[in-house]
Amino acid sequence: MQERFETFTVLINRISRNIKKIKNQEMAEYNLRSAHVSCLYYIYILKDATATDLCERCEEDKATISRALDYLDNNGYITREFESTKRYKSPLLLTDKGYEIGRKIADKIDGVLDAISDGLTDEERVEFYRSLSIISESLGAVSKNSSK
């Protein structure tokens, strides 16, 4: 049982660290961090994302997303469609600079996903993601129950 736990936690942590490392390495020349990359990616693919949408998609808290968006706004990557509405409800738009970086991020993500899928059949990949979803949901339920 202990070996199973160690294997599981080590692999999950390694995957998470590698994802953050890839994000940070790829975007270092633009002075962007992992949270910035995620925000730009989702604004790029969703076209009309709000800060609330990003919290849900990125699985980050409101403060992290707010800091990331402030950075992206102050550095010319995004703008808000309506400045007069509540900030979290206002659709976010990419500037030309943001659009270019968003496209590069999306292309890089596609390349990484292709590379990590190499060696897996379509059926194996589908089963892998199904298994990850079950594990994620189960861990979420356990964490909710253990906080009671």
| DSSP 3-state of 61 | coil
78: β partners: 94
Q: Give the Cα separation of 18 and 4 in Å (integer).
A: 21
Residue 6: in which H helix or E strand, if any?
Answer: helix 2-27
pTM of structure:
0.80
What pLDDT shows up at residue 102?
Answer: 95
92: β partners: 80
pLDDT tens by residue, 20-36:
888 888 888 888 888 89
Q: What is the mean pLDDT of residues 46-71?
A: 92
One-letter amino acid at 65 equals I
**In angstroms, what is the C-alpha Rg of the chain?**
18
Count, in order, helices (H) and strands (E) of the chain.
6, 2
Query: Among residues of the chain, what percentage have pLDDT more than 70?
Result: 94
Q: What is the mean pLDDT of residues 51-74?
A: 93
**Bigger pLDDT: 88 vs 11:** 11
